[in-house]
């Protein structure tokens, strides 16, 4: 499977190193919007400017799009789906239906396969929600995120006047998780599910009280949560908060029995040292499925919910039945 | 979706009560090998002898086969797949490839869809193993079962001379689970992964020392495990061990990064009050998929690894993308 990376940030680099483990993949090249002579790919593959992309039509099985969901992917994925089989990790949940529609139309135009919103949420967590609700229709779903770094929330803190750098951790409330695991189906507010820990590097002489207040009262991002703010220096941030760990749990509990007398709990839990590298590895596994769908003539847009598990695996169907079932 | 139950034991009863929650299902009837006048269905649906099955050809969308894996299903599933769309929970892992081949040939003969080995292991656990190994190709898989009642092991104890009744619990060793969760990828012997707890009701005057010795030295079943035997009376067994709880975890940990520097752990965990009722609910969700595959002309045999998550859900594709992705 010949793949190429379109966009070379944390996620693009994650895809580049995932190829080392997904041994059926060959990385052809990396595309960047920056001047390509300023970008060196870690693995040594060629780096081209995105305006050279048309020269690769027919030479790449799947193009893995590593742009951002806010402004890049809504334009990028449909435009490129007209020319290539593509996959992205579009993660603005509320806008998935419109993104799906535009990518589907573009992919069908010239007979390509596309898959959007691969990763872990949306992605593996969505799959868990669908399986669990299908097998336990009478129940309730809970998704907890963390402990992990939220890059969007970290960025929001960095935009505050007087802040040099910041890391925000989303942390599930242990009592809430325990109640859900016990099958109690509690009704939980936003505040009862997660708390937010902020580590902030302030400019010398900055008004820390004001910064803390601005963080804690920021609507949507922090106001609805119990938020703690800890000021640290740049060295401590580098030392103790350089990684991008994340994870979380999808838990469904439901009942069966003629009188609803039996309770069942299904938990799907991820503990990730590197959010971008794990997401990238999910993208490569689904790129394999995109490649197979294209070969079967299944054109248009799909999501992880439309792909059978066997289509992600390097093993044959016979091998899967013999070893994994 | 019109379904019928073929075989009315614990699993068949589980399917009968699952229909209450899977609201797109209509249960037409139950088939039994016993004299039907001696069997009363809890929900009041008609009970017929299995020799009447041919009268229902064309009147049932999916026949849910609730026989045993040892001797029933290897004959039953292919024979009925010639006449109906069928699903079973065949769980003899080593014989899945041959069962698949015979059901596949039978189902194709007259254009039916069949699915074998639905449940949780094989079933949801298999799915978890395939997803996790596809997204973390460089890693190791562990499956732990329990704490839960193993019916096969309980039966093995009951066959010992002087034993009136017994319940055997399979219990994962906590230290082993913790090491795996921590991503340590330990190499574990059978004894290090699970232990076996046996609760035994002996005949009055039976030689308990002999019974205990026969249990602990029984090859395949107990000899390779740390096994405890506790003698209780019939009343205690009824009081404290009447349910059929089960569950377990599939855990994969793997690494990513240019130098393998990042570790990730995926855990899929089930905690079930009733093994047969949960298995039955999985069967009904996959019966929905069988029904859809048949409608699309996808004949032959499939397993849970060949079915996309969306095919299990009562929601439409649009609804799934909007609400679950």
Residue in A with minimal Cα distance to B138: A21
Chain-chain contact of B307 with A303 (C-beta, under 8 angstroms): no
Q: Which of A129, A256, A289, A319 to mutate to test the interface with B (most CBs of B within 10 A)?
A: A256
Alpha-carbon span A147 to A249, nearest angstrom: 10
Per CB-CB distance under 8 Å, the chain B contacts of A254 are 21
**B278 to chain A, minimum CA–CA distance in Å?**
7
Confidence band of B264 (pLDDT split at 50, 70, 90):
very high
Chain-chain contact of A135 with B314 (C-beta, under 8 angstroms): no
Residue-level pLDDT at A321: 97
Chain-chain contact of B305 with A317 (C-beta, under 8 angstroms): yes
Per CB-CB distance under 8 Å, the chain A contacts of B276 are none
For A30-56, how does the pLDDT look when each residue is reduced to its tens digit (9 = 90+)?
Answer: 999 999 999 999 999 999 999 999 999
Residue B153: partners with Cβ closer than 8 Å, 6 or more residues away: B168, B170, B196, B198, B221, B222
Per CB-CB distance under 8 Å, the chain B contacts of A281 are 135-137, 256
- Higher-scoring residue by pLDDT: B86, A70: B86
Tokens of A4: 């190429």
Confidence band of B300 (pLDDT split at 50, 70, 90):
very high
Residue-level pLDDT at B103: 98
Half-sphere exposure for A71 (CA within 13 Å, toward CB): 0
Chain-chain contact of A281 with B135 (C-beta, under 8 angstroms): yes
Q: Which of A17, A41, A132, A134 to mutate to test the interface with B (most CBs of B within 10 A)?
A: A134
* Longest CA span, chain A: 69
Alpha-carbon span A233 to A206, nearest angstrom: 13
Chain-chain contact of B305 with A304 (C-beta, under 8 angstroms): no
**A29 to chain B, minimum CA–CA distance in Å?**
17
**B89 to chain A, minimum CA–CA distance in Å?**
12
> Who among B130, B258, B313 is closest to A320 (CB)?
B130
Give the 3-state secondary structure of residue A59: coil
Residue in A with minimal Cα distance to B282: A135
Instruction: Tell me which H or E stretch contains A75.
Output: helix A72-81
For A198-246, how does the pLDDT look when each residue is reduced to its tens digit (9 = 90+)?
Answer: 999 999 999 999 999 999 999 989 999 999 999 999 999 999 999 999 9
Residue-level pLDDT at B171: 97
Residue-level pLDDT at B265: 97
CB A273 within 8 A of CB B264: yes
Tokens of B103: 């059901």
Q: What is the mean pLDDT of residues B76-96?
A: 97
Per CB-CB distance under 8 Å, the chain A contacts of B307 are 308
| Sheet bearing A113-115, strands edge to edge | A47-49, A26-32, A2-6, A62-65, A86-87, A113-115, A300-302
Average per-residue pLDDT in chain B? 97
**B185 to chain A, minimum CA–CA distance in Å?**
15
Per CB-CB distance under 8 Å, the chain A contacts of B147 are none
CB A118 within 8 A of CB A89: yes
Q: Within 10 A of B257 (CB to CB), how many other CB atoms are there?
A: 18
Residue in B with minimal Cα distance to A261: B273
User: Peptide bond preceding A12: is omega within 30 degrees of 0, i.e. cis?
Assistant: no
**B272 to chain A, minimum CA–CA distance in Å?**
4
Give the 3-state secondary structure of residue A43: coil
Residue-level pLDDT at B235: 97
CB A242 within 8 A of CB A99: no
Chain-chain contact of B325 with A117 (C-beta, under 8 angstroms): yes
Residue in A with minimal Cα distance to B17: A258
Residue A188: partners with Cβ closer than 8 Å, 6 or more residues away: A142, A176
Per CB-CB distance under 8 Å, the chain A contacts of B304 are 309, 325
Chain-chain contact of B324 with A100 (C-beta, under 8 angstroms): no
Residue-level pLDDT at B3: 98
Residue in B with minimal Cα distance to A131: B309
To which residue do tokens 């090998």 refer? Answer: B33
Give the 3-state secondary structure of residue A313: coil
Give the 3-state secondary structure of residue A164: strand
Q: What is the mean pLDDT of residues B262-273?
A: 98
Chain-chain contact of A273 with B264 (C-beta, under 8 angstroms): yes
Chain-chain contact of B324 with A304 (C-beta, under 8 angstroms): no
Q: What pairs with residue A136 in β-bridges?
A: none
> Who among A131, A257, A269 is closest to B267 (CB)?
A269
Alpha carbon separation from A284 to A28, A66, A253, A269, A274 (Å, rounded) = 14, 12, 31, 21, 16
CB A69 within 8 A of CB A123: no
Nearest to A163 by CA among A208, A218, A197, A220: A208
Q: At what angle do helices B72-81 and B96-109 cross, to 10 degrees?
A: 20
Alpha-carbon span A6 to B113, nearest angstrom: 41
Q: Which residues of chain A have pLDDT under 70?
A: none
Chain-chain contact of A96 with B322 (C-beta, under 8 angstroms): yes
Alpha-carbon span A282 to A269, nearest angstrom: 15
Per CB-CB distance under 8 Å, the chain B contacts of A314 are 134, 137
Q: What is the DSSP letter of A23?
A: T
With DSSP H G I counted as helix, E B as strand and the rest as coil, what are the percentages for chain A, rounded to 5? 40, 25, 35
CA B251, distance to chain mean position in Å, is: 18
CB A31 within 8 A of CB A4: yes
Residue-level pLDDT at A213: 98
Residue-level pLDDT at A9: 95
Q: What is the CA radius of gyration of chain B?
A: 22
Q: Which of B133, B177, B309 to mutate to test the interface with A (most CBs of A within 10 A)?
A: B309
Assign 3-class secondary structure to chain B. CEEEEECCCHHHHHHHHHCCCCCCCEEEEEEECCCHHHCCCCCCCCEEEHHHHHHHCCCCCEEEECCCCCCHHHHHHHHHHCCCCEECCCCCHHHHHHHHHHHHHHHHHCCCEEECCCCECCEHHHHHHHHHHHHCCCEEEEEEECCEECHHHHHHHHCCCCEEEEEEEEEECHHHHHHHHCCCCCCCCHHHHEEEEEEEEECCCCCHHHHHHHHHCCCCCCCCCEEEEEECCHHHHHHHCCCECEEEEEEEEEEECCCCCEEEEEEEEEEECEHHHHHHHHHHHHHHHHHHHHHCCCCEEECHHHCCHHHHCCCCHHHHHHHCC
> Who among B100, B262, B312 is closest to A134 (CB)?
B312
Q: Within 10 A of B75 (CB to CB), how many other CB atoms are there?
A: 11
Tokens of B87: 């699903």
Q: Within 10 A of A267 (CB to CB), how many other CB atoms are there?
A: 22
Q: At what angle do helices B275-295 and B10-18 cross, to 10 degrees?
A: 60
Per CB-CB distance under 8 Å, the chain A contacts of B183 are 271
Nearest to B283 by CA among B112, B100, B87: B87
Task: Sort strands A62-65 and A86-87 into parallel, antiparallel or unpaired.
Answer: parallel
> Who among B133, B309, B318 is closest to A130 (CB)?
B309
Alpha carbon separation from B118 to B108, B287, B302 (Å, rounded) = 20, 9, 10
CB B230 within 8 A of CB B215: no
Confidence band of B52 (pLDDT split at 50, 70, 90):
very high
Residue-level pLDDT at A98: 97
Tokens of B134: 């596809």
Nearest to B114 by CA among B259, B306, B319: B306
Size of interface A-B (CB pairs under 8 A): 219
Residue-level pLDDT at A72: 96
Confidence band of B93 (pLDDT split at 50, 70, 90):
very high
Q: Torsion angle of alpha carbons B126, B129, B135, B139, nearest 10°? A: -160
Alpha-carbon span B194 to B140, nearest angstrom: 18
Residues written for chain A: 325
For B197-208, how does the pLDDT look when each residue is reduced to its tens digit (9 = 90+)?
Answer: 999 999 999 999
Q: Which of B16, B321, B322, B323 to mutate to test the interface with A (most CBs of A within 10 A)?
A: B321
**B162 to chain A, minimum CA–CA distance in Å?**
33
Chain-chain contact of B117 with A269 (C-beta, under 8 angstroms): no
ipTM: 0.96
pTM for the full model? 0.96
> Who among A42, A256, A264 is closest to B17 (CB)?
A256
């Amino acid at each position: 499977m010949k793949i190429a990376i379109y966009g070379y940030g944390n996620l693009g680099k994650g895809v580049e190193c995932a190829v080392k483990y997904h041994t059926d993949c060959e990385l052809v090249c990396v595309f960047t919007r920056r001047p390509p002579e300023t970008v060196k790919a870690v693995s040594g593959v060629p780096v081209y400017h995105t305006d050279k992309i048309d020269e690769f039509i027919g030479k790449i099985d799947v193009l893995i799009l590593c742009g951002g969901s806010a402004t890049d992917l809504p334009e990028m994925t449909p435009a490129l789906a007209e020319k290539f089989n593509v996959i992205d990790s579009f993660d603005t949940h509320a806008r998935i239906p419109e993104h799906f529609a535009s990518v589907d139309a573009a992919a069908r135009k010239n007979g390509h396969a596309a898959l959007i919103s691969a990763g872990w949420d949306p992605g593996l967590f969505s799959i868990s929600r669908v399986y669990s609700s299908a097998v336990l229709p009478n129940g309730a779903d809970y998704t907890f995120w963390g402990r992990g770094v939220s890059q969007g929330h970290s960025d929001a803190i960095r935009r505050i006047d007087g802040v040099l750098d910041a890391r925000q951790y989303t942390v599930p409330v242990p009592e809430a998780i325990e109640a859900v695991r016990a099958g109690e189906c509690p009704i939980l507010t936003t505040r009862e599910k997660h708390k937010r820990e902020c580590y902030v590097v302030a400019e010398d002489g900055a008004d820390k009280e004001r910064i803390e207040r601005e963080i804690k009262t920021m609507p949507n991002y922090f106001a609805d949560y119990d938020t703690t703010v800890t000021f640290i220096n740049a060295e401590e941030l580098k030392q103790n908060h350089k990684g991008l760990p994340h994870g979380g749990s999808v838990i469904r509990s439901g009942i069966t029995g003629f009188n609803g007398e039996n309770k069942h709990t299904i938990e799907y839990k991820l503990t990730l040292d590197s959010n971008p590298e794990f997401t990238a590895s999910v993208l490569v596994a689904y790129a394999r499925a995109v490649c197979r769908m294209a070969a079967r003539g299944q054109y248009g847009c799909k999501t992880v919910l439309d792909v059978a598990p066997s289509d992600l695996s390097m093993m044959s169907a016979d091998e899967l039945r013999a070893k994994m079932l």
